[in-house]
Structure 1
Amino acid sequence: MKGVALLPDTASTFAQQVDLLFWFLTAVTVFFTLLIAGLVLYFAVRYRRGSTASRAGAKETDLRLEIGWSMIPLTVGLIVFVWAAKLYADAYGPPPDNALEIFVIGKQWMWHLQHPNGIRENNELHIPAGRPVKLTMISQDVIHSFFVPAFRIKRDVLPGRYNTVWFTPTKPGKYHLFCAEYCGTQHSRMIGWVYVMEPAEYEKWLASGGEARPGAVASGSGTMAGISTASLVQAGEQLYKQLRCNACHGATDGQRGPSHYGLFGKKVKLRDGTVVVADEAYLRESILRPLAKVVDGYEPIMPSYEGLLNEERTLQLIAYIKSLKKPVQTAEVKP
């Protein structure tokens, strides 16, 4: 058994927290298992038929004992619930403001990942150690699940919906990436690697456009360096102009459509009176199915791009819209 690891590498801040909870649950389970088994054996032997142990003064009920064996497990259970709920909320809640955002597209049977500066990877992900990383994920076909055991993170990747998860890698190295949801006949081949690099090494990797490996593209994995030098925002801007989005969506609200400047993260009132937040999911739905949520004060005249834009091009548009900041109003100085 020498060299056999009980757990995968601990390579993220969440991994340390999850392992601590795991070992606490293991210790509680072992303690109560041994305690109950020991008491059962003790009383079975002591009060077996024919033993001389005194049975005088036996009680049918004991309120203190019943309260004790009810409250102790309840307290332990509540501690575990609060502890686990906090871990879940931290992992699937909003990431820190300085998080590096990477877009992930799952499709049979590969992972396609895109960095903000335009570097694209298949079945590989390069990230810096010590910096929070946010993954915004969607599936192009069926349900997948992004699972990195060393980070203790797993998140379903669904068609037609963005899911996010974030983590902070702590240990440079090479770690397994799996799909943890059966997704078809070649599900077992939907694997990859996550490379955690020292920050300085990662910056060099970015500056060089990613490590181009011989045969990487042909084999369906590796960094696709040189295929797209434009960043997500730049590619999105080109597509935005190509589709003539700026004809209806200008720097200010127009007659045909609202402005996209400063839209991301803003609350939007719809024609039915409801208010929604303009997050990635809202932007995606507005691009592909614009009649689903029509902004108050406008007619449903925008054409649908469903079936015309793949998930990668949709992500590019969203990245560009997110980058549009509301123009700063300067006060006119009168002489």
Structure 2
Amino acid sequence: MNGAFHLLPPSASDAAGRYDTLMLVEFLVTGFVALGVAFMIVYFSVRYRRDSDADRSAAPAGGRKLEIAWIAIPLLLFLCAFAWAAYDYARLYRDPPGAMPVFVVAKQWMWKLEHANGRREIDELHLPLGQPVKLVMTSQDVIHSFYVPAFRIKQDVVPGRYTTISFTPTEAGEFHLFCAEYCGTEHAAMRGRVVVMRPDQFAAWLQQGDAREGMAARGFALYRRYGCSGCHEAQSSVHAPDLHGLLGRTVHLQDGRSLVADEAYVRDSVLLPKKEVVAGYAPIMPSFAGQIAEEDLLAIIEYLRSTGGGDARAGH
């Protein structure tokens, strides 16, 4: 920081600039209104004080136009601010094309992260500059919150479900990573760093470290070990849906609803198979709750992602 005073922390993601602009506009608008109200209070207090010579002979009995304006203008301002904020908020959860997935498992009191090629990190996250990133997160114990001030992102990480968030790093360097949800006695120590590197440096870093198989390859091995291939492959004698290309496909359910298969849907299909049963299939799949670790689930999901996607009917 070179000892200089900065009103805001570094702006290091595509989301940061949008939120800073929104906050600045809201600050200016509300500040202008507050100063205007304060000025009018002082002015009228002085102008119409008890011993002033102000003419009170034609005091208005009503002010319908003023009342309507005082209601309509703030309402429009609030609606504009809401629409602006909602649009920016929705962009965090819209997967950008070509987003690089990173899988995050929180536990007391550390962040465990894994890249698609199997490279793992603890309390550190290395990312390429200018590359869209999608974090897929869950917790092993209590609620945590993934918070990077320089990126202006904060997402709760909840046990028993997946939460996702997408962004693009726009500045190289090291940035603080915190847990922003009280998670126990060592909550204050649950911190780390995000390292944003040039794409060529990141590619070199990704290949370093202990040699290990990629998540998709490990997921395929787990897919077979847990018996998924015995029911969900085309040559299987069991009447179960084909899972190849599942992620991103439209799923039609027995209750008439439709949804797009994502990571949370796959997780629920494995642990709560009777929650959302696919149309045309019997709810005969057993639950794997308590039998499969979160890291293994994430690896299986990455394997399914590697098989492609489409719009055909899918299921569990």
Q: CA RMSD in A?
A: 2.0
**In 1, distance between residues paired with 2:53 and 2:16?**
54
Aligned match of 1:165 = 165
Report how far residue 302 of structure 1 moved.
2.9
Report how far residue 186 of structure 1 moved.
0.9
**In 1, distance between residues paired with 2:12 and 2:175?**
9
Q: Assess, with a 3 A threshold, how the Cα gap between structure 1 residues 264 and 61 changes in structure 2: closer, same or farther.
A: same
Match for 1:319: what amino acid? E
Q: Assess, with a 3 A threshold, how the Cα gap between structure 1 residues 71 and 291 changes in structure 2: closer, same or farther.
A: closer
Does the CA-based 8 Å contact 2:118-2:212 persist in structure 1?
yes
Does the CA-based 8 Å contact 2:139-2:160 persist in structure 1?
yes
Residue 113 of structure 2 corresponds to residue 130 of structure 1:
no
Aligned match of 1:250 = 233
Residue correspondence of structure 1 range 42-81 to structure 2 within 5 A: 42-81=43-82
Report how far residue 124 of structure 1 moved.
0.4
Q: Assess, with a 3 A threshold, how the Cα gap between structure 1 residues 275 and 253 changes in structure 2: closer, same or farther.
A: farther
Percent identity between the two aligned chains: 49
**In 2, distance between residues paired with 1:264 and 1:252?**
21
**In 2, distance between residues paired with 1:67 and 1:295?**
53
Match for 1:173: what amino acid? G
Report how far residue 143 of structure 1 moved.
0.8
Does the CA-based 8 Å contact 2:248-2:262 persist in structure 1?
yes
Match for 1:195: what amino acid? V
Does the CA-based 8 Å contact 1:12-1:151 persist in structure 2?
yes
**In 1, distance between residues paired with 2:258 and 2:56?**
71
Q: Assess, with a 3 A threshold, how the Cα gap between structure 1 residues 153 and 57 changes in structure 2: closer, same or farther.
A: same
**In 2, distance between residues paired with 1:197 and 1:67?**
54
Report how far residue 253 of structure 1 moved.
6.9
Count of aligned positions: 308
Aligned match of 1:142 = 142
Aligned match of 1:231 = 214
**In 1, distance between residues paired with 2:237 and 2:134?**
34
Report how far residue 282 of structure 1 moved.
1.7
TM normalised by structure 1 equals: 0.86
**In 2, distance between residues paired with 1:205 and 1:175?**
18
Q: Assess, with a 3 A threshold, how the Cα gap between structure 1 residues 45 and 10 changes in structure 2: closer, same or farther.
A: same
Residue 310 of structure 2 corresponds to residue 309 of structure 1:
no
Report how far residue 315 of structure 1 moved.
0.5
Aligned match of 2:20 = 19
Does the CA-based 8 Å contact 2:248-2:309 persist in structure 1?
no
**In 2, distance between residues paired with 1:299 and 1:71?**
55
Give 3-state SS (helix, strand or coil) of 1:313's partner. helix
Aligned match of 2:177 = 177
Query: Which of 254, 261, 268 is the equivalent residue of 1:285?
Result: 268
Report how far residue 289 of structure 1 moved.
2.7
Residue correspondence of structure 1 range 184-195 to structure 2 within 5 A: 184-195=184-195
Aligned match of 2:121 = 121
TM normalised by structure 2 equals: 0.91
**In 2, distance between residues paired with 1:287 and 1:109?**
27
Aligned match of 1:106 = 106
Q: Assess, with a 3 A threshold, how the Cα gap between structure 1 residues 142 and 69 changes in structure 2: closer, same or farther.
A: same
Aligned match of 2:11 = 10
Match for 1:18: what amino acid? Y
1:294-319 Cα distance to aligned partner (Å, 9 max, x none): 43444444333221211001111111
Match for 2:156: what amino acid? D
Does the CA-based 8 Å contact 1:251-1:260 persist in structure 2?
no
Aligned match of 1:213 = none
Aligned match of 1:205 = 205
Q: Assess, with a 3 A threshold, how the Cα gap between structure 1 residues 316 and 49 changes in structure 2: closer, same or farther.
A: same
1:19-48 Cα distance to aligned partner (Å, 9 max, x none): 011111111122111111111111111111
Aligned match of 1:260 = 243
Query: Which of 313, 318, 335 is the equivalent residue of 2:301?
Result: 318
Query: Which of 223, 230, 240 is the equivalent residue of 1:240?
Result: 223
Q: Which runs of 5+ in 2 are unaligned?
A: 311-316
1:169-197 Cα distance to aligned partner (Å, 9 max, x none): 10101111111111111111111100111
